[in-house]
């Protein structure tokens, strides 16, 4: 059902999430280790210096936590088919990823960002192609008898009032030729054109 681009987009977002998670764990461990060092420094009277080293990994832990949550949000948007929204969000977090989250997350989100366009095009085609249901499950068939057939008007004389390859002049949708009545019928307007 969904094209390969959508599944590869989801995998890339999944990988970006895992990378952010790995960074989170690394920075958390580094933060805890630095905290230990900070306590050791404090014990010998250099508390302030140790604290500076502890703050940085904890800060990066928080940044990666936020990226991890945001990428999860982008994935939910993709799952819901809100590709345009997900694309804009990816752009923001790609830039922030490059600046704050390290090169890997930035590159992964860049790849994801570039994959949105084919996916969005595919979605547009799906929507455009899905509009006229040719089988006509929801559209009424042409009425058994034409609503009003003026007897004085010979059908052949006025037969093709819409000669533009069977297009409805009211709504512009393609009309259907009903050979039985020798007229064009528009399923959109549900009347003869
Ligand atoms: Zn029409």
pLDDT digits (tens, 9 = 90+) for 115-145: 998 899 888 888 877 555 444 444 455 555 5
What pLDDT is stored for residue 55 in this prediction? 84
What pLDDT is stored for residue 130 in this prediction? 58
Q: What is the mean pLDDT of residues 188-192?
A: 90
110 or 44, which is more confident: 110
Residue 167 CA, ligand 1 centroid: distance in Å: 8
184 or 133, which is more confident: 184
80-120, pLDDT tens digit by residue?
Answer: 989 999 999 999 988 888 887 678 888 999 999 999 988 99
Residue 188 CA, ligand 1 centroid: distance in Å: 5
Q: Fill in the DSSP letter of residue 158.
A: S
Angle at 141 between CA 135 and CA 144, to 5 degrees: 150
CA distance 89 to 188: 38
Residue 146 CA, ligand 1 centroid: distance in Å: 16
Mean pLDDT of the chain: 80
pTM above 0.85, yes or no: no
Residue 32 CA, ligand 1 centroid: distance in Å: 70
Residue 148 CA, ligand 1 centroid: distance in Å: 17
Nearest C-alpha neighbor of 57 from the set 88, 24, 11, 90: 24
Nearest C-alpha neighbor of 20 from the set 86, 67, 62, 56: 67
Residue 85 CA, ligand 1 centroid: distance in Å: 34
What pLDDT is stored for residue 111 in this prediction? 92
Helix and strand totals (H; E) in the chain: 4, 3
Given a cut of 60, whether residue 59 has pLDDT beyond it is yes
Measured CA distances, 156 to 54, 71, 160, 182, 186 (Å)? 90, 64, 8, 8, 19
Q: Over pLDDT 90: what percentage of the chain?
A: 30
Residue 186 CA, ligand 1 centroid: distance in Å: 5
What pLDDT is stored for residue 1 in this prediction? 62
CA trace torsion 18, 22, 25, 29 (10° rounding)? 180
C-beta separation of 117 from 17 below 8 A: no
Residue 179 CA, ligand 1 centroid: distance in Å: 18
DSSP output for 88-135: HHHHHHHHHIIIII-HHHHHHHHHHHHHHHHHHHHHHHHHHHHSS-TT
Residue 35 CA, ligand 1 centroid: distance in Å: 73
Please enumerate in sequence order all residues whose Cβ is within 8 A of that of 173, keeping only pairs 6 or more positions apart, or say none. Answer: 132, 167, 186, 187, 188
C-beta separation of 179 from 173 below 8 A: no
Residue 1 CA, ligand 1 centroid: distance in Å: 31
Given a cut of 90, whether residue 69 has pLDDT beyond it is yes
What pLDDT is stored for residue 159 in this prediction? 46
């Amino acid at each position: 059902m969904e094209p390969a681009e959508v599944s590869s987009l989801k995998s890339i977002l999944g990988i970006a999430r895992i990378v952010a998670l790995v960074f989170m764990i690394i920075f958390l461990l580094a933060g805890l280790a630095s905290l230990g060092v900070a306590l050791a420094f404090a014990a010998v009277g250099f508390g302030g210096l140790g604290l500076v080293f502890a703050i940085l990994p904890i800060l990066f832990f928080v940044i990666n936590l936020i990226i991890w949550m945001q990428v999860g949000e982008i994935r939910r948007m993709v799952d819901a088919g809100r590709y345009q929204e997900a694309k804009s969000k990816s752009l923001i977090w790609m830039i922030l990823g490059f600046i704050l989250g390290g090169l890997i997350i930035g590159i992964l989100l860049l790849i994801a960002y570039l994959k949105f366009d084919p996916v969005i095009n595919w979605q547009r085609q799906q929507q455009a192609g899905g509009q006229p249901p040719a089988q006509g499950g929801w559209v009424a068939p042409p009425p058994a008898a034409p609503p009003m057939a003026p007897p004085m008007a010979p059908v052949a004389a006025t037969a093709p009032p819409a000669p533009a390859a069977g297009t409805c002049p009211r709504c512009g949708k393609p009309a259907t030729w009903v050979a039985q009545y020798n007229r064009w019928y528009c399923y959109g307007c549900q009347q003869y054109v």
